[in-house]
Amino acid sequence: MDPALFPRESGQFIAERSRDVFVEEEGVQKVAEMLFNLRHTDDLTASGWKKANPLAPALNWVFVIDTMNFSFWPEEETQQCEVTYKGTKYTGYMTLCAAIARAMEEGIPITDPKYFSQMSMEELGQVLRSDNETPMPMLQERHQVLTEGGRVLLEHGGSFRSFISQAGNDARKMVELIVEKIHSYRDEATFEGKRISLYKRAQILVADFWGVMEARGEGDIINMDWLTMFADYRVPQALVFLGALRYTDTLMQALNKGELLSSGDRREVEIRGCSIWSVELIKERLCKLVKERDGQTCKVNSAVIDFYLWPYAKKHHKEMAHIPIHHTRCIYY
């Protein structure tokens, strides 16, 4: 079988053949202008990452979180899984971060691959327990991917640091290593007869690794610009809201009705692929503005744009409520 196209090429391939999702030039320009005005703020740097990940202490922690970083949306908006940590109540992705922080405080060695590679489903259920009747979705799958990931780390030096160091300091090689060795990170599909990849969690793992290293002053990782945005269900909603993406009425209706899209469904692949491509174009446009107006080289990469758009979507969720997010239960995002 031919190897899959990488995420950037996949995004372009999908966007050029898409039937239900379209990248809008005008919106791309608008978002680039918006980001241009933020170019001197922390929002577009790795410290913007730190803001979005206040509970991130160490590299193995990042690996545990990113390995289970998928599918937090509730079946019913009113039934959200909740985890309280140090007096703050968390929902969504942050329930996972809070649950892991809580476990560490309770003395559970949840970030030690020797432990999490062989923990039982009951033990993980206890770690991820919710404060209310709504459990975190997909416990069985989270258990499967975490124990698998732990076993891979043990085969490669016993820590995420030793595992990832095999890729040198190269973001692209890191992504390739992760998807080659850890099956659950292989976020691929077939679109118009071609194997494509979106690699949301593999890329976010590399970007989080960079974020932690950057915070330590050791973030000299090359090829960060190779990474794309991390195609999930939250950022596409922000891109539609900002006018950089447009859905057809038919797709809008299906999503408004709450239709569940299966992983690999053409529409689901279009939403994710076009999101990747629109952010690539936003980045290009932004760099052009920086060059034209400031006469400088632009250092913003797509990961940093994603680190801005994701919290933006969370912050403006009320204004965006009329734009439906797509729902797909899977381990990829």
148 contacts 116 by C-beta, under 8 angstroms: no
Tens of pLDDT along the chain (333 residues) come to 789 999 999 999 999 999 999 999 999 999 999 999 999 888 887 666 666 666 666 899 999 999 999 999 998 878 899 999 999 999 999 999 999 999 999 999 999 999 999 999 999 999 999 999 999 999 999 999 999 999 999 999 999 999 999 999 999 999 999 999 999 999 999 999 999 999 999 999 999 899 888 878 887 899 999 999 999 999 999 999 999 999 999 999 999 999 999 999 999 999 999 999 999 999 999 999 999 999 999 989 999 999 899 989 989 999 999 999 999 999 999
Q: Which of 170, 232, 249, 265 is catalytic?
A: 232
State residue 56's pLDDT score.
61
Structure token digits, residue 122:
């009951």
**What token pair was written down for 217?**
């002053």
pLDDT in the model for residue 84: 97
Predicted pLDDT at 332: 98
How far from 259 is each of 35, 236, 328, CA to CA, in Å?
33, 17, 9
Hey, which bits of 41-140 come out as E strands? Answer: 83-85, 88-90
Number of C-beta neighbours around residue 164 at 10 A: 22
pLDDT at 2: 82
CA distance linking residue 145 with residue 134, whole number of Å: 21
Ranges of each domain in the chain:
7-316
For 221, residues 6+ apart whose C-beta sits below 8 A from its C-beta are: 169, 170, 171, 174, 206, 209, 210, 213
**What is the pLDDT at residue 51?**
64
How far apart CA 242 and CA 49 sit, in angstroms, is: 21
* pTM value surpassing 0.85: yes
Supply the pLDDT for residue 53. Answer: 65
**Amino acid making up residue 31:** V
Residue 225 is classified by DSSP as G
Q: Please say if 249 is a catalytic residue.
A: no
User: What pLDDT does 50 receive?
Assistant: 63
